[in-house]
Amino acid sequence: MWIYEKKLQYPVRVSKCDPRMARYLIEQYGGADGELSAALRYLNQRYTIPDKVIGLLTDIGTEEFAHLEMIATMVYKLTKDATPEQLEAAGLGPHFVNHDHALFYHNAAGVPWTAAYIQAKGDPIADLYEDIAAEEKARATYQWLIDYTDDVDLQDSLKFLREREIVHSLRFKEAVEILKADREQKKVF
Amino acid sequence: MYDSQWRDWKPYVSPNDPCPPIRVKWYIVPPNLFIPFQPMNLPQFPPEEALRRGTLWPALYSPYTSRRSVKGGKPNG
Amino acid sequence: MAEYNNREERADPPKSKRAENADRNDHSAYCADLEELQAVDFALVELTLYLDTHPMDMQAVQQFNQLVQRRQQLAAAFEMKHGPLMQFGHSYSRFPWQWVDTPWPWQV
């Protein structure tokens, strides 16, 4: 069951009016390595993963929705007051013609989101390795986004999101260790 | 301390390259590569700082500065 | 809050400087309260993920429960001032129904 909390996980401030950035940020909204992919991937895998790690997948999946909301907030703030001319100059003309100021799940190139971006093999090791890879890819994408803007406030939120990916990656690696359940090896706690 | 999270390498430069070559490239090795399983009782940031940094634990923190040279980050040299 | 299309822009009557400053102060107070709650909630998220893979760390469970208590106090105070945080009965409401009030998180 999901309950929504009416607050962002982390404050999002955007200081520069730069709709161009919205076009790139949308990559983390509806892109292959974005937050929607992450949330749906983990929340779907959790039905058939071994019991010991269901909690982790549920919790990280839920947190990814909070991150999706942060990206949406950034895009919303950058585009809500933009004129059609400004949006076109920012490369968002095709988006605007279809969606006006509405957000939509597509990547920076306009390719709509697809379930082909995620996988659930039913094999817990395969699933967890996909999750680790997804977190590393998201981390890298945040690095490129940080490189792309000189808005310090926007960078601040992106750095937060990048750090979360690093922590998630570690937790998935720990999940692998838990599933290895190596009886000879003394677990170093 | 955090500078140790960067590694560099020198890509091959050909005399036939059309564009000015980038001689040094950088990549990050984040802390999760070196911690297979987080040990107990690691020191923690205070809550406000933890929020800012994106993690409770300094051991897991990975700073990233923009590689735009105007920001003083690590531009590809 | 009604959205006006650029083509039919109807300006609200201009606010006095004092009213504008009051708005800004309210907003700053709201953001400060929000950040305090976000900090505690973030620690709880971090600890939750950690405990998901370290279920036997007793000290962490204790820290978690202490933070839960602090969180409940902070959230109750926040909701008294700024309205409900959760729907479906996880928060109370005054009259008229508060859940539909602005600002929503992406508007702040």
Q: How far is C50 from chain B (nearest CA, A)?
A: 8
Q: Where are the domains of chain B?
A: 2-70
Joined together, the tokens standing for residue C70 give 């602090």
The model's confidence at residue A155, banded by pLDDT at 50, 70 and 90, is very high
Residues in Cβ contact with C52 at an 8 Å cutoff, skipping those fewer than 6 apart: A53, A55, A56, A59, A171
Q: CB–CB of A167 and B53 under 8 A?
A: no
- Residue C2: the pLDDT is 46
pLDDT at A183 over 60: no
The model's confidence at residue B70, banded by pLDDT at 50, 70 and 90, is very low
Residue A13 belongs to a domain: no
Q: CB–CB of A150 and B70 under 8 A?
A: yes
Q: What is the CA radius of gyration of chain C?
A: 19
Largest Cα–Cα separation, chain C: 62
Name the domain count of chain A: 1
B52-67: pLDDT as tens digits:
999 999 999 999 998 8
- The span from the first CA to the last CA of chain C, in angstroms, equals 13
Q: What is the DSSP string of A48-86?
A: TS-GGGHHHHHHHHHHHHHHHHHHHHHHHHHHTT--HHH
Domain that holds residue A72: 19-113+120-180
For A146, phi then psi, to 5°, come to: -60, -40
Other CB atoms within a 10 A radius of the CB of residue B43 amount to 8
If you average pLDDT over residues B13-39, what whole number do you get? 94
The Cα-based distances of A56 to A76, B53, C40 in angstroms read 30, 22, 20
A104-124: pLDDT as tens digits:
999 999 999 999 999 999 999
- Inter-chain Cβ pairs, chain B and chain C, closer than 8 A: 31
Joined together, the tokens standing for residue B67 give 């590689």
The model's confidence at residue C25, banded by pLDDT at 50, 70 and 90, is confident
Q: By the CB < 8 Å criterion, does C49 face chain A?
A: yes
Considering only CB atoms, B62 lies closest to which of A156, A163, A174, namely A163
The Cα-based distances of B29 to A144, B3, B6, B62, B64 in angstroms read 15, 10, 6, 9, 11
Q: CB–CB of C39 and B55 under 8 A?
A: no
Residue of B nearest to A170 (CA): B32
DSSP three-state, residue C91: coil
Q: By the CB < 8 Å criterion, does C54 face chain A?
A: yes
Residue A109 belongs to a domain: yes
Q: Rounded to whole angstroms, how far apart are CA atoms B60 and C32?
A: 27
Name the domain count of chain C: 1
Q: Rounded to whole angstroms, how far apart are CA atoms A95 and A136?
A: 28
- Residue C52: the pLDDT is 98
Q: CB–CB of C35 and B48 under 8 A?
A: yes
Mutate to test the interface with B, among C42, C50, C54, C57 (most CBs of B within 10 A): C42
Q: CB–CB of C57 and B40 under 8 A?
A: yes
Residue C65 belongs to a domain: yes
Q: By the CB < 8 Å criterion, does A102 face chain C?
A: no
Residue C19 belongs to a domain: no
Residue C33 belongs to a domain: no
Domain that holds residue C78: 38-108
Q: Rounded to whole angstroms, how far apart are CA atoms B40 and C54?
A: 8
C49-98: pLDDT as tens digits:
999 999 999 999 999 999 999 999 999 999 999 999 999 999 999 999 99
CATH number at A76 reads 1.20.1260.10
If you average pLDDT over residues B21-43, what whole number do you get? 95
A7-39: pLDDT as tens digits:
999 999 999 999 999 999 999 999 999 999 999
Q: What percent of chain A shows pLDDT beyond 90? A: 95
Residue C26 belongs to a domain: no
Mutate to test the interface with A, among C52, C59, C93, C104 (most CBs of A within 10 A): C52
